[in-house]
C-alpha cells in the first residue's frame, strides 16, 4: 500500500472544487482598478488661492456692510432724517432693534442685538418717545434712547390720569402709585424748568402747570425723577398740538393758554355729552355780554370758584360768592388767571369749535341734563321750578 499523506488529499480536494465550480461570466469578474490621475500641484495651488481670494472677498464685503451699518456710513450720504421710536415697558433689546429697523435707522437688527448684548444696552435704554436720526451710529442710538428716569430693566407702573384732574390731584395719583413722593412731585411742579413756551418757568406756583398735564394712561418708572414724570405729561400735551389745532386757536383770536383755560371750564362743567354747547355759553358771555342777557361779561362758573377755594366742602354759599379770589367768576369778569384743570382732547376741540347758539345760561335739571336759556328770566324760572336739580 502506498504511503498516505494529508497533503495529497488537500491538493486533490482543492483541484476537485475548482473543476466543479462553473466559470464566472466576464461581467462578474473583478475589474482592475484604474489608477486615478492626480491633479497637477500647481493647478491645485492656483484653485486653492482662487477659493481663498473669493471667500476673503465675500467676508470682506459682508464685514464692510456690517461695519457701515454700525457706523451709519450706509446712511450718511443723505441729509439726516429724524425718526421717532417709542420704547415701552414691554419692549426688549430684540423688539427695540426691530423698531429701529422699521424706522430705517439700522439695516441689520441681528447685528445691533449682538452689539446691544455686548454693551449692556438694556441698562441704558429707557422708556419713552425718543427722537433719533439716520446719522446716528449704534452707540449714538443707544445713548439717544437713554432716560434719566430709569432703564428697560427698572420696575414700572401703569398710571391713568382722568380728564379734568387738577395738578394737585394728578400729583396725588402719581404718588399713590409709587412714581415718587407727593412732596418731591409738588416741588418739581413748583420749581423745575420745563422747555415749553406755554409754561411760566418764573412762577413757583403749581398752577403754572394747570391745563398742560395731559390726561392719559402712562408707563412710569417706580421712583422716577419727579421732573421727568411731569415732563412726560407736558410732552404728551404738546404732541396733541398738531398743525390743524394750532391753526384753529390762532384763527379763534385767543392765545393757547386762554383756549386751554376755556377747555378746562368746559371739562369741569359737564360730563362730556354737551361740551360744544357749554362752550357756546362761555363764548357768548365773553364776546357778547349784552344788557339783554344781563351777564355783563361774568362767566359765573361754579367750578372756577371752587378751584379758588381749595379744601371747600359742601354747597356754595352766599359768602362763597363774595370770596375775593381771581377765580371767583361771579365777581371778576372774563377768564380765570389759569386753567382750573387738565382738559382732555375733546374739551379742547369743543373750545375751538363751539356750537353757535344764543344761550347765556344753563342749569342742571333733575333729569341729569343741562337746560339752556337765552335770558336771565328763563333761567330764574327754571331754577325755581320742580325740574331744577341743582
H or E stretch covering 249? helix 243-252
Residue pLDDT, tens place only, 208-233: 999 999 999 998 988 888 999 999 99
**One domain for residues 284 and 361:** yes
- The CATH number of residue 86's host domain is 3.30.1490.480
Tally of domains within the chain: 3
More confident of the two residues 2 and 182: 182
**Residue 157 backbone phi and psi in degrees, to 5:** -145, 140
Q: Which residue has the higher pLDDT, 75 or 291?
A: 75
CA torsion, points 274, 276, 280, 286, in degrees to nearest 10? Answer: 110
Q: Are residues 123 and 211 in the same domain?
A: no
Which pLDDT band holds residue 12 (cuts at 50, 70, 90)?
very low
Q: Is the pLDDT of residue 4 over 50?
A: no
Single out the residue of 111, 101, 102, 141 nearest to residue 124, CA to CA: 141
Cα dihedral: 330, 335, 338, 342 (round 10): 90
Residues 121 and 162 grouped into a single domain: no
Pair 249, 330 in one domain: yes
Residue 57: band (very low, low, confident or very high) from pLDDT cuts 50, 70, 90: low
156-160 and 128-133: which strand pairing? Answer: unpaired
Q: Using 50, 70 and 90 to split pLDDT, how confident is the model at 2?
A: very low
Q: Does the residue 11 lie in any domain?
A: no
Yes or no: say if 357 and 178 are a contact pair by the CB < 8 Å rule: no
> Is residue 35 included in any domain, yes or no?
no
pLDDT bin (cut points 50, 70, 90) of residue 355 is very high
What pLDDT band is residue 36 in, cutting at 50, 70 and 90? low
Taking CA atoms, 315 is separated from 47, 185, 304, in Å, by: 98, 31, 14
> Do the beta carbons of residue 116 and residue 99 sit within 8 Å?
no
Least confident piece of the model among 67-71, 111-115, 176-180:
67-71
Residues 177 and 286 in one domain: no
Q: How confident is the model at residue 79 (pLDDT cuts 50, 70, 90)?
A: confident
Regarding whether 271 and 348 lie in a shared domain, the answer is: yes
In eight-state DSSP terms, residue 107 is S
What's the pLDDT at 360? 93
| List of residues 6+ apart from 286 with CB closer than 8 A | 297, 299, 334, 335
135 — pLDDT class (breaks 50, 70, 90): confident
Q: Is residue 367 part of a domain?
A: yes
Instruction: Give this prediction's pTM.
Output: 0.71
Under the banding of pLDDT at 50, 70 and 90, the label for residue 385 is very high
Of 240, 268, 287, which one is at a domain's C-terminal end?
A: 240
Same domain, 105 and 223: no
pLDDT, mean of residues 78-95: 82
Where does the pLDDT of residue 1 fall: very low under 50, low under 70, confident under 90, or very high at 90 and above? Answer: very low
In a domain, residue 61? The reply is: no
| Last residue within a domain, chosen from 185, 207, 240 | 240
Of the chain, the percentage scoring pLDDT greater than 70 comes to 78
| 144, 171, 193 - which closes a domain | 144
The predicted model gives 251-269 an average pLDDT of 91
Residue 27 lies inside a defined structural domain of this protein: no
- Say yes or no: 253 and 277 in one domain: yes
The reply to whether 48 falls in a domain is: no
- Helix 256-269 with 243-252: angle, nearest 10 deg: 90
- 14 falls within a domain: no
275 and 348 assigned to the same domain: yes
Residue-range definition of the domain harbouring residue 183: 156-240
pLDDT at 62: 66
Residue 17's pLDDT is 47
Closest CA to 227 of 148, 124, 145: 148
Q: Both 272 and 364 in a single domain?
A: yes
Q: Does residue 24 lie within any of the structural domains?
A: no
Q: What is the pLDDT of residues 284-328, one digit of tens each?
A: 998 875 545 678 889 999 999 999 998 888 888 999 999 999 999
Task: Say if residue 185 is in the same domain as residue 126.
Answer: no
Residues 327 and 307 in one domain: yes
Amino acid at each position: 500500500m502506498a504511503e498516505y499523506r494529508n497533503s495529497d488529499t488537500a491538493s486533490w480536494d482543492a483541484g476537485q472544487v475548482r473543476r466543479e465550480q462553473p466559470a464566472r461570466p466576464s461581467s462578474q469578474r473583478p475589474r482592475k482598478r484604474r489608477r486615478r490621475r492626480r491633479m497637477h500641484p500647481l493647478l491645485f495651488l492656483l484653485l486653492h488661492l482662487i477659493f481663498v481670494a473669493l471667500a476673503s472677498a465675500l467676508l470682506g464685503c459682508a464685514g464692510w456692510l456690517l461695519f457701515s451699518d454700525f457706523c451709519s456710513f450706509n446712511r450718511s450720504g443723505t441729509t439726516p432724517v429724524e425718526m421717532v421710536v417709542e420704547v415701552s415697558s414691554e419692549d426688549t433689546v430684540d423688539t427695540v432693534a426691530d423698531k429701529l429697523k422699521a424706522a430705517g435707522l439700522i439695516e441689520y437688527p441681528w447685528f445691533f442685538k449682538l452689539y446691544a448684548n455686548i454693551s449692556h444696552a438694556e441698562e441704558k435704554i429707557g422708556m419713552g418717545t425718543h427722537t433719533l436720526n439716520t446719522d446716528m451710529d449704534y452707540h449714538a442710538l443707544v445713548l439717544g434712547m437713554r432716560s434719566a428716569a430709569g432703564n428697560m430693566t427698572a420696575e414700572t407702573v401703569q398710571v391713568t390720569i382722568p380728564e379734568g384732574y387738577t395738578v394737585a390731584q394728578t400729583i396725588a395719583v402719581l404718588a399713590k402709585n409709587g412714581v415718587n413722593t407727593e412732596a418731591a412731585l409738588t416741588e418739581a411742579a413748583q420749581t423745575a424748568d420745563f422747555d415749553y413756551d406755554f409754561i411760566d418757568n418764573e412762577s413757583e406756583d403749581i398752577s403754572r402747570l394747570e391745563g398742560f398735564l395731559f390726561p392719559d394712561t402712562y408707563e412710569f418708572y417706580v421712583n422716577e425723577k419727579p421732573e421727568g414724570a411731569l415732563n412726560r405729561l407736558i410732552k404728551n400735551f404738546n404732541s396733541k398740538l398738531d398743525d390743524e389745532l394750532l391753526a384753529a386757536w390762532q384763527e379763534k383770536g385767543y392765545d393757547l393758554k386762554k383756549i386751554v383755560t376755556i377747555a378746562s371750564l368746559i371739562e369741569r362743567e359737564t360730563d362730556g355729552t354737551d361740551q360744544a354747547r357749554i362752550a357756546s355759553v362761555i363764548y357768548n358771555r365773553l364776546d357778547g355780554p349784552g344788557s339783554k342777557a344781563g351777564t355783563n361779561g361774568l362767566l359765573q362758573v361754579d367750578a372756577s370758584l371752587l378751584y379758588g377755594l381749595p379744601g371747600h366742602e359742601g354747597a356754595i354759599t352766599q359768602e362763597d360768592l363774595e370770596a375775593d379770589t381771581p377765580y371767583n367768576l361771579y365777581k371778576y369778569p372774563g377768564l380765570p388767571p389759569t386753567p382750573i384743570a387738565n382738559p382732555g382732547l375733546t374739551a379742547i376741540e369743543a373750545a375751538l369749535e363751539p356750537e353757535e347758539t344764543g344761550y347765556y345760561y344753563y342749569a342742571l335739571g333733575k333729569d341729569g341734563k343741562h337746560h339752556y336759556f337765552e335770558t336771565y328770566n328763563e333761567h330764574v324760572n327754571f331754577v325755581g321750578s320742580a325740574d331744577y336739580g341743582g
